Amino acid sequence: MEDLILQRVEDEYDKPYVSFQAQTGECELVGESFPEKTAEFYERLMTWIDQYTREVRGPVEFDFKLTYFNTSSSKRILQLMMKLREYAQQGGNVTARWLYHPDDIDLEEDIEDLKIISKLDLEMIPDESMEYKGLEPEE
């Protein structure tokens, strides 16, 4: 099985960086997600996860580092999270984390919603090094 690496392209700032490693099961989604063809973009990720969990059956360590996603992306992210939960329920070893800037309350609430709906054991990690474009706190 091959790795899935989707680099960010300068003109395609609407798609996240993707790194899914077949040898280690380390998976990472980084950046922002609001592609025009959301289903098409995420279909490759779903197919890779399906193949990995069916053929390799190794541990999965999934880090979400998305700082923004639109509604259509959230539906696909939820599907990914549910696939990870199903794999864990079948005995697969799954570690899932979502890193976010602690000042990004809106994102934190969106992550919490996805966590509740998906029922994935997801660790939410506030991380000062994550990008945050929100309003600066008042002094």
> For residue range 31-73, what is the model confidence (pLDDT) as tens digits?
999 999 999 999 999 999 999 999 999 999 999 999 999 999 9
In this model, does residue 136 exceed pLDDT 80?
no
Lowest mean pLDDT among 23-32, 92-101, 129-138: 129-138
Cα separation of 67 and 45, whole Å?
18
Q: Give the domain 4-126 fold.
A: Transcription Regulator spoIIAA (3.30.750)
- How does residue 8 score in pLDDT terms, banded at 50, 70 and 90? confident
Q: Please, what's the b/e burial string for 69-101 (b: 16 or more CB within 10 A of its CB; e: otherwise)?
A: beebbbebbbebbebbbbbbeeebebbbebbbb
Q: Nearest Cα to 20, choosing from 123, 115, 51?
A: 51
Neighbours of 34 (CB within 10 A): 15
Measured torsion, CA atoms of residues 119, 29, 51, 25, in degrees rounded to the nearest 10: -90
Would you state the pLDDT for residue 133?
Answer: 76
Whether the model clears a pTM of 0.75, i.e. scores above it, the answer is yes
Lowest mean pLDDT among 5-9, 59-63, 88-92: 5-9
Going by their DSSP bridges, the two strands 17-20 and 4-6 should be labelled as antiparallel
